[in-house]
Amino acid sequence: MTVNPTKSQIMTINFLKSTPAFCDPIPSEMLVKHVKLLGVTISNDLKWETHVSNIVKQANVSLSIFKLLNKFNCPKIHSLRVYLSFIRPLLEYACPVWHSQLSNELSDKIESVQKRSLRIIYKEGKIPYSFLLKAARITTLKERREKICLLFAKSVISNPRTEDLLPDFHNPIRLRLPRSASLAIPTYSPIHAVTERFRKSFIPFILKHLNNNS
């Protein structure tokens, strides 16, 4: 089979010191460091700086709509609805894939878009972010992402077709509790992660949260 270089891309994911060798020479134009798959930008180092930069840039461009809404004195409740319906989803798309591996810096970078949006909507530049959240009756994006990940995990285990994707989740074990405890607390077998990269991946991350919320 002949690969068409103009329609194909190759991204190597390798954490070894040695460079992987290919049987056949690969044109340099086919080798890429980032690839966009179903709207998610995946990097060859499995980090999410590029993806976060892309979604933040896309969301910041969309904030220009508030200038038009403010120009025509649009009620705050309508401007907030525009943000919740068209801008916030850009920052949360497919978040179960990448949320667990975000650094504090990247998380704050995403959160800054919501801060900026609320300050534009409520025309308040000096009010603390926490007060703006209460006024809008919404939570931080980080809290929402964790909730979305938890709901996604529960939907996986509730579906007979996907329940086995989470190791041992469908076979709960019982913790040893003191005699004063009337009911046993269900928990699920955690995954022993050797590397930090694997520990922060979705399945070990979500198993920990499921145990905390069981």
pLDDT digits (tens, 9 = 90+) for 105-149: 999 999 999 999 999 888 877 889 999 999 999 999 999 999 998
Q: Indicate the pTM of the whole model.
A: 0.78
Q: How many CA atoms lie less than 13 Å away from 133 in the CB half-sphere?
A: 14
- Rounded Cα distance between 200 and 133, Å, is 28
Q: What is the rounded average pLDDT of the residues 45-64?
A: 91
Which range among 43-52, 68-77, 174-183 shows the weakest confidence by mean pLDDT?
174-183
- Rounded Cα distance between 31 and 74, Å, is 48
Q: What is the rounded average pLDDT of the residues 53-71?
A: 90
Residue pair 101/128 in contact (Cβ under 8 Å)? The answer is: no
Report helix, strand or coil for 186. Answer: strand
Query: Is the per-residue pLDDT at 63 higher than 80?
Result: yes
